Amino acid sequence: DTEVTQTPKHLVMGMTNKKSLKCEQHMGHRAMYWYKQKAKKPPELMFVYSYEKLSINESVPSRFSPECPNSSLLNLHLHALQPEDSALYLCASSQEHGAYEQYFGPGTRLTVT
Amino acid sequence: GNSVTQMEGPVTLSEEAFLTINCTYTATGYPSLFWYVQYPGEGLQLLLKATKADDKGSNKGFEATYRKETTSFHLEKGSVQVSDSAVYFCALRPLGGKLIFGQGTELSVKP
């Protein structure tokens, strides 16, 4: 089983809202990732968690706040977003960070109004 | 630095045509190489991988060979189907490093 699940599939939020994206994997992977993808572009790395600790933050604005409650779950908390933050947000996992292939979830399509 | 260059799309083919999507890379050391596919409205799926020189990755009729002498990892399929229409991303990962994507190549297969 190489499944990464993400909820919700679609999300529309206003600029003053607070919302969260959720990601789950049950492959025993110890590294989890958040990516942002704009239309017809490759994914851009946002955050990396390794063994439940934040190991990489790619200078992401503080209105995006990641959280890793346990080794299977990854959240992305959203607050005071801008319309330009509208994108597909992808979660991925791998056995270890920096080694092995990454498996991606289906993504959350976020629209900020 | 590390980078991936893919042929620009969109690529339009008729069903049963031969497919080649070119991918070349620049990297220090010996990176792992990947092809991911993204169908419309979906996330990325790992299509195939190769972890060392001369390795051939294959899946669902797609193949790619890790060529260190030409720093290439071209994707091929002998006979494409309409269902292969998608965006294809070539990617590399240096050992201990981040996944680095090419710009993606959009493939459209017409019946």
Residue in B closest to A102 by C-alpha: B46
CB-defined contacts A:B, below 8 A: 47
Partner B, chain A 24-53, Cβ-Cβ below 8 Å: 40-43, 45, 48
**What's the confidence (pLDDT) of residue B28?**
85
Q: What distance in Å separates the CA atoms of residue A102 and residue B7, rounded to the nearest whole number?
A: 23
Identify all chain A residues contacting B98, using CB atoms and an 8 Å cutoff: 45, 48, 56, 98
Q: What distance in Å separates the CA atoms of residue A24 and residue A56, rounded to the nearest whole number?
A: 19
What values do phi and psi take at B17, rounded to 5?
A: -75, 165
Among B43, B87, B93, select the one facing A104 at the smallest CB separation.
B43
Residue of B57 and B7 predicted with greater confidence: B57
B49: left (phi over 0), alpha (psi -120 to 50) or beta: beta
**What's the confidence (pLDDT) of residue A98?**
78
Residue in B closest to A100 by C-alpha: B32
**What pLDDT, in 10s, does the model give residues B25-80?**
999 888 999 999 999 989 999 999 999 999 999 999 999 999 999 999 999 999 99
Q: Which tokens hold the place of B36?
A: 């991911």
Q: Is A56 on the interface with B (CB under 8 A)?
A: yes
* A45: β partners: A35
Confidence of residue A36 (pLDDT cuts 50, 70, 90): very high
**What pLDDT, in 10s, does the model give residues A54-104?**
999 999 999 999 999 999 999 999 999 999 999 999 999 999 887 789 999
Residue of B24 and B8 predicted with greater confidence: B24
